[in-house]
Amino acid sequence: MKLFGYWRSSATYRVRIALALKGIDYDYEPVNLLKGEQKSAAYLSKNPNGLVPTLITDDGAALNQSLSIMEYLEETFPDPSILPRDPVGRAQARAIAATIACEAQPLMNLRIQKYLKEEASFDDNAVKDWLNRWPGSAMAAVEKMAAEKAGAFCVGDAPTMADACLVPQWFGALRFGVDLSGLTRLNEIYERCIALPAFEKAHPLNQPDAVKG
């Protein structure tokens, strides 16, 4: 398998976590978002959205959308699972993953922040207000969703797709100065996750295209 992604992309980071939790080896092809490589004709032929990640399967299918890619990995490499065993837990883990991937991350994505700054003339404070209002309020909802579950992770006592979405979102939110101070349950889960080897392996700074310093 080959993963097309970018070291600091939260959606790519989700898939890297799922691959690492399942112990799957893969090749990695960096797509430099700052140079606009996601908009090249060659990449668009694999991902018409012009977004990373894309996973190329061993038989050559190009899979888009990190949630679908994680579901594919779960179906093809079921052990260890990244979903709870019971149907309610599975739905809850998917709901947290979807809240992060559909309600929070899209509103702080590179192209949205570029639009706000370059076309809508938002200054730094206005961008920060935007990030706190939209992705920030979605994360406050995730805090409540996760607080209802008693386990060590978002849903239960093992990491799931929900945690694979939480950690990259938290990393990005810290980077952009989103106020996470009231989200104590999520902070505990984040700290517990990043101490695990699979999450360490998937960390942006441990990728070949990472720019350090």
Ligand X SMILES: N[C@@H](CCC(=O)N[C@@H](CS)C(=O)NCC(=O)O)C(=O)O
Residue 70 or 154 having the CB closest to ligand X = 70
Nearer to ligand X, 122 or 185 (CB): 122
Cα separations (Å) of 152 from 79, 109, 186? Answer: 20, 29, 10
CA within 13 Å, CB half, 151: 17
Nearer to ligand X, 38 or 132 (CB): 38
Closest to ligand X by CB, 106 or 151: 106
- Residue at shortest CB range from ligand X: 111
Residue whose CB is less far from ligand X, 34 or 147: 34
Q: Shortest gap between Cβ of 64 and ligand X (angstroms)? A: 7
Instruction: Report in angstroms how near the CB of residue 35 gets to ligand X at its nearest.
Output: 11
Binding site for ligand X (CB under 6 A): 9-11, 33, 38, 51-53, 65-67, 101, 109-111
Q: What are phi and psi of 28, to 5 degrees?
A: -125, 130
Report in angstroms how near the CB of residue 11 gets to ligand X at its nearest: 4
Spatial CA neighbour of 206 closest among 159, 170, 177, 171: 171
Cβ proximity to ligand X: between 110 and 158 the closer is: 110
**Nearest-approach distance from CB 85 to ligand X, in angstroms:** 25
Q: How far is the CB of 203 from ligand X (least distance, A)?
A: 15
Smallest distance, ligand X to C-beta of residue 205, A: 16
With b for 16 or more beta-carbon neighbours within 10 A and e for fewer, the 49-62 pattern comes to eebbbbbbeeeeee
